[in-house]
Amino acid sequence: MAETMDVLVTNIGQLLTMASSGPKAGKEMQTLEVIEGAVLGIKDGKVAFTGTAEEAYGLTASETIDCGGKLVTPGLVDPHTHAVFGGSREHEMALKQQGVPYLDILKQGGGILSTVEATRAASEEELVRKSSFYLDRMLSLGTTTAEVKSGYGLDVQTELKQLYVTKTLQDKHPVDLVSTFLGAHAIPKSHKDHPDVFLEEMAGMLQQVKDEKLAEYVDIFTETGVFTVEQSEKYLKKAKEYGFGLKIHADEIDPLGGTEMAAGLGAVSADHLVGSTDEGIRKMAESGTVAVLLPGTTFYLGKHTYARARKMIEEGVIVSLATDFNPGSSPTENLQLIMTIAALQLKMSPEEIWNAVTVNAAHAIGRTEQAGQLKEGRNADIVIWDAANYKYIPYHYGVNHVNTVLKNGKVVYQRREIIG
Ligand SMILES: [Zn+2]
């Protein structure tokens, strides 16, 4: 072999290629594609070679990165975030500790409605700057592709502003972003008694969002006190007619039947699923709808009942994991921490977890052909970890194990050495 690469990543202790034929469902999630003593070749920003050092014999490149025996994996994929928002809500932590119910915080102008106020008040430039900072942090933590939802505008003007912010970031930030329109995130104060009128207003935006390519997916919050299953179904059917992929915040608290509805509509994913019924789980397995689990939210809300990941895996569901990064119920960009919570609370094995944050997560946001795997033709989105094997990452918790991140074959982050 005498092929020339742009970059050769050599001396890889353990390479997770995740090079399966597609997303993994149920028990398939226990398998991982691993090459020990590997080399990875990059050409034109894409993965062009993976194999053992022996197989790489004769390969040359203008640049070599020696991994010194470290673990190398695909860039992490975070398939559920709310990374564009105004303000922050640290003052609510003390109220929660005092046992003030969320609904009372909401009445005092706190909760999601305070984020809506702050997002409305912020300029587009301010939001771009703020979200860029969060995306920088995501990248430093190993996330190279993420989904971002709107939903803190709850009026036409601000929802559009949020979507434009995401569009700007898609052009200028190295993290690849997949945009979701979540105008139906909550009922704004102005429409407290008229949720149907509000949903019609949001549905009225679909044409423009489609024409201007501002989002690929449409999402809705189906929950007690927010939107009913019937309202959600009607809204999502409209979105489907416009050609959007569907996502749904389903059964986070009560088993309303959002899981079943998502499966019935052929949604690409249903997210949260803490209250999903056995029937809902079986239907997801049948329809191939991805279960995007958000255990960081359960943890941060101080709850003790987590989504039933084991049951879902047993029934053959495609399970994924995400941060749900948002200023209220999950203020973290750190998918590594979510991997630990998944191990401890969802009882997922390291193999299942790695599939959940790479190949399955990419599938949940329609990026199967670009992200989540290291095989020929995929984006060279690569993380070199300060660890010798993949089991180490969920085990040693709460810190950043990333050594180096490459996006499309270029180094975009490198851990700093301590000086002095
Ligand atoms: Zn969410």
pLDDT digits (tens, 9 = 90+) for 71-98: 999 999 999 999 999 999 999 999 989 9
Q: 259 CA to middle of ligand 1, Å?
A: 15
Q: How many CA atoms lie within 13 A of 179 on its CB side?
A: 24
Q: Examine the pLDDT at 269 and tell me if it is beyond 80.
A: yes
Q: 78 CA to middle of ligand 1, Å?
A: 12
Which residues on neighbouring strands pair with residue 379, listed in sequence order? 46
Q: 132 CA to middle of ligand 1, Å?
A: 19
Mean pLDDT of 240-264: 93
Q: 300 CA to middle of ligand 1, Å?
A: 13
Q: 82 CA to middle of ligand 1, Å?
A: 6
Q: 233 CA to middle of ligand 1, Å?
A: 18
Largest CA distance in the chain: 70
Q: 392 CA to middle of ligand 1, Å?
A: 28
CA-CA-CA-CA torsion sign (104, 254, 205, 203): negative
Percent of the chain with pLDDT over 90: 91
Q: 414 CA to middle of ligand 1, Å?
A: 30
Q: 310 CA to middle of ligand 1, Å?
A: 22
Q: 23 CA to middle of ligand 1, Å?
A: 22
Mean pLDDT of 207-235: 96
Instruction: Tell which wins on pLDDT, 221 or 253.
Output: 221
Place 8 in a pLDDT band, splitting at 50, 70 and 90: very high
Percent of the chain with pLDDT over 70: 100
Q: 184 CA to middle of ligand 1, Å?
A: 12
Alpha-helix runs per DSSP H in 108-219:
111-121, 124-140, 156-172, 195-203, 206-211
Place 206 in a pLDDT band, splitting at 50, 70 and 90: very high
Q: 339 CA to middle of ligand 1, Å?
A: 17
Place 344 in a pLDDT band, splitting at 50, 70 and 90: very high
| Cβ-contact 66, 83 below 8 angstroms | no
Q: Which of 142, 203, 218 is nearest to 371 (CA)?
A: 142
Place 107 in a pLDDT band, splitting at 50, 70 and 90: confident
- Spatial separation of the C-alpha atoms in residues 412 and 415, rounded to whole Å: 10
Of the chain, the end-to-end C-alpha distance in Å amounts to: 45
Mean pLDDT of 297-312: 95
Mean pLDDT of 105-115: 85
Q: β-strands 4-16, 34-43: how paired?
A: antiparallel
Q: Examine the pLDDT at 61 and tell me if it is beyond 90.
A: yes
| Cβ-contact 81, 23 below 8 angstroms | no
pLDDT confidence of residue 2: 62
Whole-model pTM: value is 0.97
| Cβ-contact 301, 295 below 8 angstroms | no
pLDDT confidence of residue 366: 98
Take residue 45 and report the two structure tokens written for it: 């920003």
| Cβ-contact 226, 198 below 8 angstroms | no
Q: Examine the pLDDT at 106 and tell me if it is beyond 80.
A: no
